[in-house]
Amino acid sequence: MYGNWGKLLKVDLTTGEITDWDIEDWLYRDFLGGSGLAAFLFFALKGYEADPLSPENPLFIMNGPLSGTSLPGCSRLEICARSPLTGIWGESSMGGHVSPQLKGTGYDGIVFTGASAAPVYLFLDERGAELREASHLWGGSTFETEASLKEEIGDKRVAVMSIGQAGEHKVKYASIVNDRGSLAARCGMGAVMGSKNLKAVAIRGKTKYRTADADAYKAVRRQAVENIDRSLFAEGLNLFGTSGGVDLSSAICDLPVRNWREAQWKEGMQNLSGVRIADTILTARRSCYACPIACKRVVKIAGGEYAMPEGPGPEYEGIGALGFMPRIDDMHAVVKANALCNSYGMDVISTGGTIAYAIEAFREGLIGEDRTGGIALDWNRPDQLIDLIHKIARRDGFGDELAEGCRAMAERYGGRESAIQVKGMECPMHDPRALWSMSLGYATSIRGACHNRDTNLGLEMGMDDLEEIGFPRTRPGHSEGKAMMTIHSQAIASFCDSAVICIFAWKGAGSTIAMLGDMVNAVTGYRLSSGDILEIGNRIWYLKRALGNMCGMTRQDDRIPGRIISPHLEGTASELLGVLNPLIRVNNRLLGMIANEKVLEYVKLFNARVVLRNTFRTINLAGKLFPSPRRLCKAGAENAGGSRVAFDRMLAEYYRLRRIDERGYPEAAVLEEFGLQAVSQILHDTG
């Protein structure tokens, strides 16, 4: 067997027993690894019957066949369990340096069952595994825990994933952290770890992995690296990180402001941009294992109220959730708030979304100072934001209620239209009124509102296409063709999350299905075609959808808040994508056509460091000179970002093409076509 080792480590935290779990080859062929294999094993263990915070909820830490290899972007792993935030199937992806260490132990993953009576951590290397006492670590931050375990184990190369105080207190959106800034952030996997009294997992592996075809492996790696070297997208990530997207997203009204109530915000656009971070507080760029892009930011705030030592900087989502959502334009405060979330181990999207709901509910009179502990919640209050983060992580006072997420708060206080979530998970920082297919992606995501469980974002922005499988481009801001596009993109994302590969690196490497196939085939020896990849991706998607149904999810949960598909009063600039899409495609193709290295270096320097930087500066300047470009596109509800009628029409087409019945369940016949007979029997009660 190549790419996978054929076994998992199974740890019963109740008894302390540690055993090997041998996995049959056909399961790897049908589900690859990562979240796909985890989903099948979760089904086999009947995890859907367990309360998310009970000992019976199994927790999976899973590599895929690509994980831990030297292929670009293959440093990721998947962490899966029933989510305490949503109550349905939960999964979260993590980069950094854990995946290659896990690969080097000879295991494809770890599954934890039960719960320890006292805090413990697991140490695993190629010689074996051991549960160790962790009371001395309990109460510490993720930063402190990682540093302590590296010193305790005596090996700086040991990879540590841990929970902070938020996970210990079972904050419903607690995350798991490694490398101080690489998080399995969404779905509350940190709370599941906390419920098991599992403080950390420390891994050091030295066993070399094997590839099926060494020559093919070298060739596809070389091609991927060359493509990344020519990619304007990858160069932009290196220069500015994902925070570089703040400028463009702001310009097209894609970045939500003040709890999704405003289309644009000039001050945030100017003060919180990736260019501003790069020009002022950036000290270094870092990468996940074996990735040539190096999109991670290292920042330092030398002095002032929000001074902080050198450490990981904020990503796009953190800037949006902690800056734009509460309308805070103090960059240092937003960076500090982001660092606190990393230290405590909390998802920045859910943190920012829940706080924004609470501010709006307070301003509307739904929540009073008697509930907030005397705090008069308001917009643009940096100190208040930081104070609330402290309270959430420790479930202190009003923080105990915020720790439940915005859906739970809206059920208690009202104002459900202000709780911007799907299936209980707060929406990420991309507005469907600018990128229309995001509404369908949010509604039908298998884990709740998500921009990474499909590839719609890149498709709508013009960075990706599906032409290699004969699917034509669709028009930004319109619903036609979006249902089938979303189905294809969900299949691709499901494959990526099971293979496992970073979506960003895949985009930089060319974002083709053929490239995915070449990578997996070289590693495993499989002979997957593009059709096979879509089939595997769809099999995994249907399995996860069925798991959600077994957890109680129905059609009624495939809804999104009316606010985010109702046109802004001032309109939106989403039609600008009609101009931007061809420019993005032409620029990327020009870079790809240039073979001469000296010319390439010049063009990259000119394009990325001058054009990209100056483009973002020009966007900021335009915001100053013309503060209302969004009004240009005010006419036409669907063009301006949507209507309930257009969304319902798109969703109905999606259900028809997906063969989802009136309850929201995949039809028995379609499950059986994908080899999921046992799942169909349980779901449709025919067993």
| 132 phi and psi angles, rounded to 5 deg | -125, 150
CATH number at residue 88: 3.60.9.10
State yes or no: pLDDT of 326 exceeds 80. Answer: yes
β-strand partners of 299:
282, 311
In a domain, 87, yes or no: yes
DSSP H/E element including 540: helix 530-550
How far from chain centre, in Å, is Cα 291? 18
pLDDT tens digits for range 83-130: 999 999 999 999 999 999 999 999 999 999 999 999 999 999 999 999
Q: How big is the chain, counted in residues?
A: 687
Percent above pLDDT 70 for the chain: 89
In a domain, 115, yes or no: yes
DSSP H/E element including 604: helix 597-604
- Could you tell me if residue 154 is left (phi over 0), alpha (psi between -120 and 50 degrees) or otherwise beta? left
According to the model, what pLDDT value does residue 381 have? 99
pLDDT tens digits for range 414-472: 999 999 999 999 999 999 998 999 999 999 999 999 999 999 999 998 888 999 999 99
In angstroms, the CA 355 to CA 365 distance is 15
The residue whose two tokens read 């034509």 is: 472
Coil/strand/helix, residue 168 = helix
How far from chain centre, in Å, is Cα 360? 26
Token digits of residue 17:
């027993």
Coil/strand/helix, residue 627 = coil
In a domain, 145, yes or no: yes
In a domain, 98, yes or no: yes
Coil/strand/helix, residue 299 = strand
The residue whose two tokens read 């911007």 is: 420
What angle do helix axes 577-593 and 597-604 make, rounded to 10 degrees? 150
Among 221, 269, 225, residue whose Cα is nearest residue 248: 269
How far from chain centre, in Å, is Cα 585? 25
In angstroms, the CA 29 to CA 458 distance is 28
In a domain, 23, yes or no: yes
In a domain, 60, yes or no: yes
In angstroms, the CA 532 to CA 517 distance is 9
- Lowest pLDDT segment from 432-441, 452-461, 564-573, 663-672: 564-573
Q: Give the contacts of 285 (CB within 8 A, at least 6 positions apart).
A: 238, 241, 294, 295, 296, 297, 298
Per-residue buried b or exposed e for 601-638, using 16+ beta carbons within 10 Å of the residue's own CB:
eebbeebbeebbbebbeebbeebeeeeebbeebbeeeb
For 160-165, what is the mean pLDDT? 99
Task: With beta carbons less than 8 A apart as the criterion, state whether 224 and 516 touch.
Answer: no
Coil/strand/helix, residue 588 = helix
Task: With beta carbons less than 8 A apart as the criterion, state whether 107 and 5 touch.
Answer: yes
β-strand pairing of 296-301 with 308-312: antiparallel
In a domain, 280, yes or no: no
Domain that holds residue 74: 7-204
According to the model, what pLDDT value does residue 252 have? 87
Mean residue pLDDT of the chain comes to 92
Query: What is the end-to-end Cα distance of the chain in Å, rounded?
Result: 33
What is the count of structural domains for the chain?
1
DSSP H/E element including 125: strand 120-125
Predicted TM-score of the model (pTM) = 0.93
pLDDT tens digits for range 196-205: 999 999 999 9
In a domain, 356, yes or no: no
Q: Give the contacts of 91 (CB within 8 A, at least 6 positions apart).
A: 35, 38, 39, 78, 79, 80, 187, 446, 447, 497, 544
